[in-house]
Structure formats: structure tokens, C-alpha cells
Amino acid sequence: MAIVAQETKLGTFGRPVLAWGIGLLFFFPIFWLVLTSFKTDADAVKPEFLFTFAPTLENYLNMTENYDYWRFAINSVITSVFATAFALFVGIPSAYAMAFNPSRRTKDVLMWMLSTKMLPAAAVLYPMTFLTKNFLGIYDTHFLLILVLCLINLPIVIWMLFTYFKEIPKEIIEAGQMDGVNTWGEIKEILIPLAWGGIASTALLCFIFCWNEAYWTVRLTTTEAATLSKLIEGNRAPEGLFFGRLSAVSTAAVGPIVILGWFCQKQLVQGLTFGAVK
Amino acid sequence: MSNRTVSRVLQAPAVILLLIWMIVPLSMTLFFSFIRYVLSSLNRPEWTTPSISNWRGFGNYEFVLNSKDFVFAIQNSLLIVGSILFLTVTFGVLIAVLINKAFPGRGIVRVLLISPFFVMPAVNAVLWINMILDPVLGLQGLAVDGLNGLIAGMKDLPVIGWFFSQWPTLEPISFRATQTSAYAVIVMVTWQWTPFAVLIFMTSLQSEDQQQKEAAILDGAGAWSQFRFLTLPHLGRPIAIVVMIQAIFHLSLYAEIEIVSRGNGNKNLPYLIGEFANNNIGAASATGIFAVILANIIAIFLLRMVGKTLMD
């Protein structure tokens, strides 16, 4: 029989109350953003309309007119989706080889990959601008953002895939090898169906990181490939004039991702601590 | 093909891509940091093309080290990163211990708590600096107005009115000044990253040795000594990891500084590099190399910790 720590009366009542209080406190700014998005710009700054106001959808309906929202949103979708796909395309074979065919150097390769993630982006800002603007002519293109977003997330993707793949018994893969399936077939027919859940959560997390990225997306774009981060950054100082419409466009930019995020809390721990916390 | 060759071929694309990504821009930064290189110069047009003939040795490094902005940016980076680390770890441990036990609605509280982490940094900054912290139109301004109104109302009361009439009128704080905007950044990033710390500490607490805890309870250990001698040591490793991962992320904090502090003098290293890069590429590159060195010092410790658990 397990001895469960007896909670004092204060504990039984205090803990839920305090926990709920803290939870609501942390969520409040998001709630406030969503609430403000249903107020007109004029109402949004008036104390008498803090919680009681006539809700309006006007901010959402005018999002295209006010901010050209969809152009930026489509850019965010394109760059995040393709960067994630590309990272998986490069990462799956690599993680597969490291998980099922490790050599003495595998550990070093993984550590080195991780270390590329620690390079401060600002340190290579100018060379990146220089190379892509003057030399390659790909500044402010989707292609460039896809490439950069893929590269900065590739270490995390490989790392996560590696930890998932390692949990698959080696015998299953070897059985496939004996049947004379080639490597590509092994990956497609055996590995991907087996590790589907892990691959999906890796993709989800990579997508979220791409969507929220705010250094390269701001510094390597001007208009053509500008994403939602760039849009919001460009409208940073409305001086209270446009709280309503700015809230609406912000809600539209973060809403889907926050909801996606709810589904990958566990993967987040693994993805961000590189398997070091279990 | 042998297994080994196949394995190499499979890893090659990722390794080559990351190798290029790491080596090409960084070696350019290193080169630029040793030459005189500006984007526009009326007197010395030859400095506008990167060339070995403009060699400056450690001149850019000296220039950067002697500039007031650099010292300020380093101090400010450390202030911002240090405060965020202290606050997120403290709140993170307390909240994780609080919600580690079952209570009604725990799942919902978890979802509420984790949400800030997924808000994009640009929205985080715009939301806090305008709608919450603005001294006039934000919630802060409204709250201060409300309190002042309340105090003014109290002055008319008999007996205790005198007490309230001594109170000064509250002034809202502007978070757009040089120093206060750093505080604003600390508040918004702490809000965003405390959930991350909570999540990791909670994951770790689930593997805490329950039998040890029960033994401690039998021995009459109170809640505080259980926390102090069992939980906190158990969290030592996750705390170290949270600190290092956050240090690496926050040393390159950019969107928040850009949105909150643009033009008001508040800056950190990445922001300073951006400022230098508007013209003086040599100085920007030297600053970049300093940033790399700083990140590396932290990264070495982090990689060691992560490396230990890699192959188990």
C-alpha cells in the first residue's frame, strides 16, 4: 500500500485555487488580445468598454484591407510547410542511418549538428545579406526563407527523429533487409509506417518553430516573401490608434499555432532539450 | 555497397548542408572583422569593397571594445538574460511543484499555462508594449487611473479620509524609455518562457522517486525539507538544461528589442550588430565574433550535459 502524502486542508483547497489563478493569469494576455480584437479601434482604448462592449467582426473583415493579411499569411504557410518538408526529407535518411547503423563517430556528428544551432544568427547577418543580395540574387525570396528555416531547424529535426527511431527494435529493420528490400524501400515501407507518430510530432514542432521565427524572417525579407512576423513587426507602434485591428491581425497570426501547440506539449520537451530530460 | 557506405550517403545531405551553413557565412564574418569595410564612404571609396588590401588587423575589435555602445549592449544583454533566467527558473520550479499533484481541472490549467510559449515573439512584444504596458491607453494606464480615482473617492470619507489625502497621485510608468524598455522585455520574455520551464520541470518531477519520498514522510520530513532535500536536487539537471537552452535563445533575442526599444537607446548584442551593419560592416563582424565566443562558452557546457545522456 502506497503512503500518499497527506494534504493539509490548506493544500486541498489552496492548491487548485492557486493553480487555477496562475493558469488564468498566464493566459490572460492572450485572452485580452482576443477580446480586444472584437472591439472597434475607438472602443479598445476606452475604460468604460473594458469587458462590456458591442462586439464587432469588423476588424477581422477588414484585415485584408488594413494589413494585406492573407499575403503575409500565405507566405508564412508556404515557407513553414516547405521548410518542414525539406527538413524531414533530408533529416529522415540521416537519422535513420544514425539510429540503425551507428558508427563510432555518430555521437560526434549529432553533437556537432546541435552545435550549429548555437551559432548566434546576428553574427552572420551581414554575410547572409551580402551573399543572398549581391551574389546569389535570392534575397527576399521564398526559396531563401525555406532554406534558412530548414537549416536552423534541421538539427532539432534530426535529433528528435533519432530519439524516436532508436526506440524501434533493430530486428524489424533487419528482417526487411533480409527480404532484399533496398534502402529507400526500407525507409518507405518499414521505417515511415512504424515511426509515423514520431515523424508527425517532429513535423508539427518544426512547423511551429518556422512559423514563429523572427530574426531571419525579418532581416532577409522586404516585401515578396515577408511573413506574419514581419507584418506584425512592421506595425509595432500604433500609439493606441489601432488596438482593435492590430489585435485581430495578431490573433489571426498566433491563434492556429497556439492551438497546434496544445497538441505537442510532450514533444516540445523532447525537441527542445534534445532528449536530455525524460 | 557496404552498410557503411550506405550510411554515409544517407547522412551526407544533412551534413553537407549544415557544414556550408556553418562555415561559409561565419568565415566571411571572420574575414570582414579583420578588414576596413563600410557600405558608404565619401572620402575612402576603396573601403566599400571587401578586400584584403584594407587589412586592419585587430583594429575593428579595438574599435568595438572601446565603443560605449558595446559595453552597454553587453551589460544590457547580461541584465536581460540574467533576469529572465532567474525569474523563469524560480516561477518554473514553484509552478511545476504546485501542479505536479492532481487537482480538478489540472489538464486545462496545463493548457492555459503552456499557451504563451507558442505566441510568436513579434505578437508578444506588440501585445505587451501597447495593450498591456502602455502608460495611457494600455491596461497599466487604465489601472493607474482607476486606482487614482479610488483614492480620490476615499479622501471624502470621514476620519480615514485624512489618511488617503496624504497619498500622492500614482504616476504610470512609461516602458518606452531606455532602461524601462529593458524591463518590459524581461517581463514579456519571462511570460513566454516560464511555461517552457514549467513543462520541463513537470516532466522531470514525474520521474521523481516516490518511494524515497514516502520514506522521508515516514521519517517525519516536512513539506519544506522534502522540497529542499529531495525535489530540488532531483531538479538540478533539468534546471541546468533550462538555464543553458534559454541563455542561448535569449542572447540572440531580437524581435522584442526591435519592437519595444527601437530608437530609444536600449540595445543588446544582436541589435547592436544590426545597427553597426547599417554601415560599418567591419565593426558589425567583430561584434558578431564576440557574440559567437559568448554563445560558445555556454554551448560547451550544454553539449557536455546533453552528450552524457545521448547513447543510453
Nearest CA in chain A to B205: A278
pTM for this model (two decimals): 0.89
B3 within a domain of the structure (yes/no): no
pLDDT in tens, A19-51: 999 999 999 999 999 999 999 888 887 777 778
Who among A20, A109, A183 is closest to B15 (CB)? A109
pLDDT in tens, B52-62: 888 888 888 99
Mean pLDDT, residues B136-140 taken together: 86
B144 within a domain of the structure (yes/no): no
Q: Which domains does chain A have, with CATH numbers?
A: 72-242+256-273 (1.10.3720.10)
Alpha-carbon span B291 to B275, nearest angstrom: 15
B16 within a domain of the structure (yes/no): no
Q: Which residues of B touch A273 (CB under 8 A)?
A: 200, 238, 241, 245, 306
B15 within a domain of the structure (yes/no): no
CATH number of the structural domain spanning residue B286: 1.10.3720.10
- Prediction ipTM score: 0.87
C-beta atoms of B18 and A36 within 8 A: no
Nearest CA in chain A to B120: A212
Q: Compute the Cα dihedral for B170, B172, B178, B181 and give only its sign.
A: positive
Q: How many domains does chain B have?
A: 1
Residue numbers of the domain that contains B80 = 38-120+181-307
Q: Which residues of B touch A122 (CB under 8 A)?
A: 252, 254, 269-270, 273-274, 288, 291
What pLDDT does residue B177 have? 81
B28 within a domain of the structure (yes/no): no
Indicate if the pLDDT at residue A1 is higher than 50. Answer: no
Evaluate whether B125 touches A238 at the Cβ level (below 8 Å): no
Q: Which residues of B touch A244 (CB under 8 A)?
A: none
pLDDT in tens, B77-127: 889 999 999 999 999 999 999 998 888 888 899 999 999 999 999 999 999
User: Does A94 touch chain B if contact means CB atoms closer than 8 Å?
Assistant: yes
User: Does A223 touch chain B if contact means CB atoms closer than 8 Å?
Assistant: no
Who among B8, B26, B274 is closest to A124 (CB)? B26
A68: left (phi over 0), alpha (psi -120 to 50) or beta: left
Reading the block at residue B228, the C-alpha cell is 529542499
pLDDT class of B217 with cuts at 50, 70, 90? confident
B114 within a domain of the structure (yes/no): yes
B287 within a domain of the structure (yes/no): yes
When comparing pLDDT for B155 and B203, which is higher?
B203
Alpha-carbon span B194 to B94, nearest angstrom: 11
Evaluate whether B128 touches B184 at the Cβ level (below 8 Å): yes
B170 within a domain of the structure (yes/no): no
pLDDT class of A174 with cuts at 50, 70, 90? confident
Indicate if the pLDDT at residue A180 is higher than 80. Answer: no
What pLDDT does residue B193 have? 94
User: Does A232 touch chain B if contact means CB atoms closer than 8 Å?
Assistant: yes
